[in-house]
Structure 1
Amino acid sequence: MSIQLDKNQIPKMSRAFYQLLEQQLQSLPPKEANAITLNFRDPDYSAENGGYQPVEVRLEKQQDLWRLVYVTDFAYHGHPYPELVKDIDICFNSKQVYSLFSGWIGELESRELVSMFSENFIAYQEMGAYTVYIQLD
């Protein structure tokens, strides 16, 4: 499957983030799809033991480009019955970023958070922390 990502979206993700996505998507079989969901999961992540938080990335096809729809980082929160909730949600359609502790924040305020998240995510993937699951819609 030939993947061309739209890298001009706001919020801006790092070049390394797009390279990581392109690398993951190269292995896809030739199939027509209108959307792709990538789930990056640490098989050992749990509320009790911690680990690397799961990340979901959604892409949708628009003309000849694949556009990011969202990148969501999940984490266990709550006591005594922790639930997996959105910790960071980068929404490219609304050009906003959500943080569990801050709520929705605008483009200017979110740059540092997006940059830090992106760098950490790439480092974790390079360390082999995640198993990647890909769903074509």
Structure 2
Amino acid sequence: MTFTIQRNQQPAMPERFYQVIEQALANVTSTEANAITLNFRDPDYSAEAGGFHPVEVRLEKQQDHWRFVYVTDFAFRGHPFPELVKDIDICFNSKQVYSLFSGWIGERESQGLIRLFSDNFVSYYQMDAYQVQVSWD
């Protein structure tokens, strides 16, 4: 099945990010799906040892293409009992970006954060740092 992802959404994502998502979806064969969630996990990531933050990507089908709903980067935070929390959240429905340390941020600042996040995410994916799980409904 070929996934055509709408590329003119806001906030804008770099082309390399779309290519990684399409590559991760290359083996998905479900034609009945209306929504897809991709989970990128470093199996060794922990609060104690660190590692690569888990990332979740949600897409929904609209007519003949797919659109992003959100891209969320999670991280362990807190002491003495760390919890997995949203570190960066890119929400395409509201066209906003959230950062744990800054809250909701403006368009100019968010583009720099998106570029940094995306460059790192693509590099980690190319290094095979993640196990990818795809689920749909």
What is the TM-score with the length of structure 1 in the denominator? 0.98
Match for residue 101 of structure 1?
A: 101
The one-character-per-residue Cα deviations of 1:27-65 (angstroms, maximum 9, x if unpaired) are: 111431000000000000000000000000000011111
Within a 5 Å distance, the mapping from 1:60-79 to structure 2 comes to 60-79=60-79
**What 5-or-longer segments of structure 2 have no aligned partner?**
none
Aligned amino acid, residue 47 of structure 2: A
Q: Counterpart of 2:75 in 1: which secondary structure? A: strand
Q: In the aligned structure 2, how far is the partner of 1:60 from the partner of 1:108?
A: 26
Could you tell me whether the CA contact under 8 Å between 1:95 and 1:106 is conserved in 2?
no
What number of residue pairs does the alignment pair up? 137
Following superposition, the deviation at residue 108 of structure 1 comes to 2.0
Aligned amino acid, residue 85 of structure 1: V
Aligned amino acid, residue 94 of structure 1: S
Following superposition, the deviation at residue 93 of structure 1 comes to 0.7
Q: Report percent identity of matched pairs.
A: 67
The one-character-per-residue Cα deviations of 1:61-120 (angstroms, maximum 9, x if unpaired) are: 111110000000000000000000000000011110000000011222200000000000
**What 5-or-longer segments of structure 1 have no aligned partner?**
none
Match for residue 114 of structure 1?
A: 114
What is the TM-score with the length of structure 2 in the denominator? 0.98
Segments of 4+ moved more than 3 angstroms = none
Match for residue 33 of structure 1?
A: 33
Q: In the aligned structure 1, how far is the partner of 2:106 from the partner of 2:96?
A: 5
